Amino acid sequence: MLKRFKGKSVRVYEEGVGTYRNDLYSGFKRRLLHGRGIGTVFGGSDIAQFIYVFDPASYYQRVQGIRAIPVKIDGSVAGYVSENRTILSHLFGAGDQEPSDKSATVYLSDWDVDQRIVARLRKEDPFFLKPHPHRKESLSGEDVLPGGVPAEVLITILAQAYRSLTVYHHGSSAAHYLAGMPGVKFRRVN
């Protein structure tokens, strides 16, 4: 199959914190894929020429033995989302939030929603549940945010509407990309 791509190159773009992982495959499967020139990390394919990332130094440090050349993407996800909040809200149908002087709580679920965490955090007012985008079954309720809208977009909207925002997550890319956003605290849960 890769013979069709002979003489061609692919450019890879960052797709969350998984881009910086080197443990996506292991053991026999990793050796088999690697032996066939198929990437086992983002940018690891024999035909990948460049990988565009926000943090090339971190990529170099964490992902070893790749052929693709890391190229820095100017700016940041947080900056891009803040600058383009209106168009992104419209694009994803996220809408705006009424301003409030309250503090809000958000739970970014993993592929499975931890109901114990939801039960504990629902006591906070206001509380929002943001399902993982890969969940097949939909959730409903007035406190459920749309799963298909990037968390970075929703958090930016909520952070501008509420006095402060606490976001509970299971290792979300949003915590990586929005770290240091004024008025927003990220707390990792297990």
Q: What is the pLDDT of residue 129?
A: 95
Q: Examine the domain organization and report whether 91 and 181 are in the same domain.
A: yes
Q: Which of 18, 37, 72 is the last residue of a domain?
A: 72
Q: Examine the domain organization and report whether 137 and 118 are in the same domain.
A: yes
Q: What is the pLDDT of residue 119?
A: 94
Question: What tokens does 179 get?
Answer: 């770290």
Q: Which of 51, 72, 93 is the last residue of a domain?
A: 72
Q: Are 168 and 106 in contact (CB under 8 A)?
A: yes
Model pLDDT for residues 7-39, shown as the tens digit of each residue: 678 898 888 888 888 888 888 988 888 788 788
The long-range contacts involving 109-113, CB below 8 angstroms and separated by at least 24 positions, are 109/135, 109/170, 110/170, 111/135, 113/139
Output the CA angle 50-174-113, nearest 5 degrees.
Answer: 120
Q: Is residue 169 part of a domain?
A: yes
Residue 147 CA to residue 129 CA, distance in Å, equals 9
Torsion of CA 9, 61, 33, 73, to 10 degrees: -30
Residue 53 CA to residue 59 CA, distance in Å, equals 8
Q: How far apart are the first and last CA of the chain?
A: 40
Q: Examine the domain organization and report whether 82 and 67 are in the same domain.
A: no
Q: What is the pLDDT of residue 127?
A: 96
Question: Domain containing 15: what range?
Answer: 7-72
DSSP state of 138: -
Q: Examine the domain organization and report whether 21 and 97 are in the same domain.
A: no
Q: Is residue 1 part of a domain?
A: no
Q: Examine the domain organization and report whether 81 and 63 are in the same domain.
A: no
Residue 152 CA to residue 163 CA, distance in Å, equals 18
Total number of domains constituting the chain: 2
Model pLDDT for residues 134-148, shown as the tens digit of each residue: 887 777 777 899 888
10-residue stretch averages of pLDDT, the chain, 190 residues long: 67 85 84 82 86 91 84 90 86 79 95 93 92 82 87 92 96 92 94
Q: Examine the domain organization and report whether 49 and 15 are in the same domain.
A: yes
DSSP state of 57: H
Q: Examine the domain organization and report whether 123 and 184 are in the same domain.
A: yes
Q: What is the pLDDT of residue 130?
A: 95
